[in-house]
Structure formats: C-alpha cells, structure tokens
Chains A and B, each alone.
Chain A
C-alpha cells in the first residue's frame, strides 16, 4: 500500500509538470517577470509543511525549524503575491 501511494504521488507529479509546460509556454515575454514573482508566491505552498511542524503539541527542534520555515514561506506568499499585483497594475494598453 505504501509503495502504491508513493507511485500515485509520482503520477501526480508527472501530470502536473505537463500541465505546467502547457500553461507556461503560452505566457508572453512581456509578462515573464510577473510570472516569476507569481510562481515564487505559489512555491510558498511549502507553508503547509511548515505549519505542520510549527504546530506540534510538543516543543522540539522540529518546532524551531517549523517556525523559521513558516516565516520563510510567508515572505514568499505575502511578498510574491503583492509585488506581482503591484507590477500587473502597471501593465496598461493604450
């Protein structure tokens, strides 16, 4: 069962890579900088793992690592989404 579950994750990973390729080849060069900062924000999803570590009942070394990880990931989430919006607001057609 465990091996099966792992394979399912590999399966999802492979499909997601293909979805990513399909979507991102369509992004025009003019939007490449916001694409990068926006994808930075999305990679802040690591916050899920960080929360699971920082919220442990017992305070251990894992809690400390989790606390720092929450801070790091949150910089990505907050900084990434806001700066992307700030940039995209400026893109105007004549």
Chain B
C-alpha cells in the first residue's frame, strides 16, 4: 500500500509541474489548471489510504466547511476583489501549515496536558522543520489577513511607522530563533512552542502593517511565496516529498512575481518591506516649490468625441482608478465604438497597475477585451511616438515623466509608460489630487496633455454616447 501511495504522490507532483507549465500560455492555461486540480485530487485520495488515517468524521467535517467557504469565495468575489481573495488564500495556506506543524508537535505527547512528564522523542531535523513551519506559517497567516484588511479598506492603506520598528522586529525574529533552538534540543518545552507561535503571529502583523496600499502588489506576491515555503516546511515536518515539491513551485512563483514588481517600481525588496516611500511626503514637500506651474487644459466629453473622430490610433492606459470606478465595461464599449470607426485601439499595461500582478488584464478579460489587445510595457513603449491619442484612465505615477529626469523625485528611475511621446494625451481623473507617492504629475502641465475630469465609469459612458451622437 505504501508503494501505491508514494507512486500516486509522484504522479500528482508531475501533474502539478505540467499544470504550471500549461499556465504559461492563455491557450493552454485552463487545461493546466485542470491538470493541477487532478493532481490535488489524487494526492487527497492517496492520503486517505494512509494507515495513520483511521477515523474519517473529522476529515469530512473539515473538508465540508472548507469546500463550502471556498465555493462561496470562488463564485461571489468580483474580479475587482481578486487581490483581496488571493491575499486571503495566502493566509489560509500559511494557517494550515502552522496548524499541521503544531499538530505534529503535540502528536509527540498526545496525553498533554494530562501527562506532562512524558518524554518527547523529536528528531532534530523534524524539530527544526516544525519551528520554521510555525514561524513562516504564522507570519504568512496574520500578514495576509492584514494585507486583506488593507486591500478591503478595513486597515489603513497608509505607511504605518512606529518608534524602533525595525530593531523590535529583528529582536522578535531572534527570540523565535533562540527559543526554537532550545525547543529542538529540549522538545518537552511546550510553553516555548506556544510562545514561538504567538510571536510569529504578532510578527506577521508588524511586518505587513508598515507596507503602503500601492505597494500591495509586492506584499501579496511575497506572501504568496511565503505560503509556498511554509508548505515545503510542512513537507519536511512530515517527510513528504510531494509537499516539498508543490511548496517549492509556489515559493519560486511568488519570488519571481515579487522580483518583477520590485523592478517595475525601481525599488529593492528591502525598501518595500521596510515601508519604503515613507519619506515621500517630506521629499515632495521640498520639491513642491519647484513643481511645474502652468496652465492645465481640460476637455469635455463632446470635444473629446470630436477629437477622436479624426484619429487613426489610440492607446488606452488603465490604472487602479479604473478598477475602483468599475469602469472596465465602459472602457470595452469605448474600444468597440472606436474600432467600428476603423481606429486601431490597444491597451498598455504597466506591471504594477492595480493592486496585484496582472490585475488589469483580468478586469479587461472580464469585460471581454481580447487578451491580444493588451500589451506589456516593454512591448508597446516604443509605439507611443506614432500614436495619435493616449487615454489614461485612473493611472498616475506610472505615467509621470519625472521618473525619467527628475532626480529629486521619489519615483526617479522607475520605468514608466511613455504616454507623453504621443501627439495628444487625455488624462481621466476625478480631480487634480496627487497619486499615491504624493507627488505632482508634471504630465498634466504638458502642452500635449488634456485633462478629462470625472469618475472613470461616468466619463467613459458619456464619451461613448457623445461619439454615437456625432
């Protein structure tokens, strides 16, 4: 039986790898997801055959609760809420790891607290894996809940600072490691294990709280990676290769996404994790005296409709504002009506647009914008030169030309979409307020820039109607 179970785990691991491989192209992605799901089904079935599993009622109860909750989340979460949902799922992954690690620890003395004198027999390697599972799983669990809260607007999206923040966090990590080492040598120190658990959970809150709302793509990706690594650690606790492999795949995925997000903001991971851009307020205050002054020209829906009537190419640049305004369907209508006039319409997507990697792509896919119209920054940045009109919807910092030349700007060096190179740039915003980084956008004052004020959804709907009435 053990051989059958182990071979099933092997097949399941291979299905996970093939699944992720197929996720590499929109054509095969659905099949990839299905392959991974079959792999998961096989792994669960094999585990139920394990000789350790003797009672099924608790498994069934847990599985039912989890399935119902998962079903509701999967079908009720709107596409704009995907960052929150992924944040939440990261947390449950970490939570499961910490629970399994604690459970394995208590298995060494099942009679606790009745019989506290029993001798623990905890091999060193398993002990280390349990401590690391608790630490990483705990940080992932509470950290993800805070990330969820920030995305949902329940916790402040601002950069939170408190005195001695970094030394204090470092101290907590050291305490966990020291106590952990003690537990590995003296496994019966149950109170220390509980202390490690509590500190790990607190640490998750303290580490994610300082991260600002617009840095959430990095935080979510990093927590995604942690949830995978926590899974691998659980694999080490159980001595199960499949958990180690699956966790490593997810861990690698999260690290790659984190890296892409950091590069797209020209920030180091340390800078984001330590609450980066925290000085943005003071820097912008200093530079506000030299900030571009001049006239901002605005345009209304009717004028914009007439302007668009005579052009041949348009690039639309969506940002977080489009998601907040739920404007993706109105944007799709705009694309359709422009295309009917024979205008070439494309979308340019900055890697950090939105609140998680790929957020804009999912929203536009939901609005039935074909994915071959969506272009990554590096694939479209050279085309702005020969584009008639660019329409920026709810994006700000990712199109701020100061990133190219203003060394005093907090976003200096960040790769941006070169929208200012187009003949005309239309910027749809609700007001003149600065973006997340708290800096003025000199683009608004450029001679080829026109502000089109209004809520993104209303503004786009109005524009489509005006074009129809021409």
Contacts and interface: CB of A to CB of B under 8 A. Distances in A.
Interface of A: 2-3, 5-6, 9, 12-13, 16-17, 19-21, 23-63, 65-94
Interface stretch (B47-55, B284-292, B456-464): B47-55
A55 B52 contact: yes
Interface string B65-80: 1110111011101010
Contact of B358 (A20, A33, A78): A33
B236 to A, nearest CB: 6
Nearest to A51: B47
Given A74-B63, A75-B70, 5 more contacts: A6-B236, A28-B25, A36-B220, A38-B19, A77-B70
B215 interface: no
24 contacts: A6-B236, A25-B256, A29-B357, A29-B376, A34-B358, A36-B357, A37-B85, A38-B36, A42-B249, A42-B250, A43-B227, A44-B40, A45-B242, A48-B47, A52-B47, A53-B107, A55-B50, A71-B69, A72-B95, A74-B63, A78-B74, A81-B37, A85-B33, A87-B79
* Chain A interface, DSSP helix/strand/loop, else mixed: helix
Contacts of A24: 20, 249, 252-253, 256-257
A30 to B, nearest CB: 4
Contacts of B103: 49, 53, 61-62, 65-66, 69
B26 interface: yes
Nearest to B15: A42
A44 B86 CA distance: 13
B92 interface: yes
- Interface range, B side: 35 or more
A42 B85 contact: no
A20 to B, nearest CB: 3
A92 B232 contact: no
A62 B100 CA distance: 8
Contacts of B396: none
A55 B71 contact: no
Contact of A52 (B53, B65, B77, B247): B53
A25 B246 CA distance: 17
Contacts of B50: 51-52, 55
A70 B63 CA distance: 6
B356 interface: yes
Interface stretch (B171-179, B273-281, B366-374): B366-374
A4 to B, nearest CB: 11
B235 A88 contact: no
Nearest to B73: A79
B198 to A, nearest CB: 15
A69 B96 CA distance: 4
* Chain B interface, DSSP helix/strand/loop, else mixed: helix
B244 A13 contact: yes
Contact of A71 (B48, B62, B237, B371): B62
Given A78-B67, A94-B373, A43 B228 contact: yes
A60 B224 contact: no
B249 A76 contact: no
B320 to A, nearest CB: 14
Given A40-B86, A44-B93, A92 B365 contact: yes
Contacts of A79: 69-71, 73-74, 85, 89
Interface in B15-51: 16-17, 19-21, 23-27, 29-30, 32-34, 36-37, 40, 43-44, 47-48, 50
B252 A27 contact: no
B168 interface: no
Listed from nearest, the 10 A-B pairs whose CB atoms lie closest are A74-B66, A20-B252, A70-B62, A78-B70, A32-B358, A79-B70, A55-B53, A16-B248, A82-B74, A32-B357
A36 B224 contact: yes
Contact of A84 (B21, B33, B47, B256): B33
Contact of B33 (A6, A19, A32, A38): A38
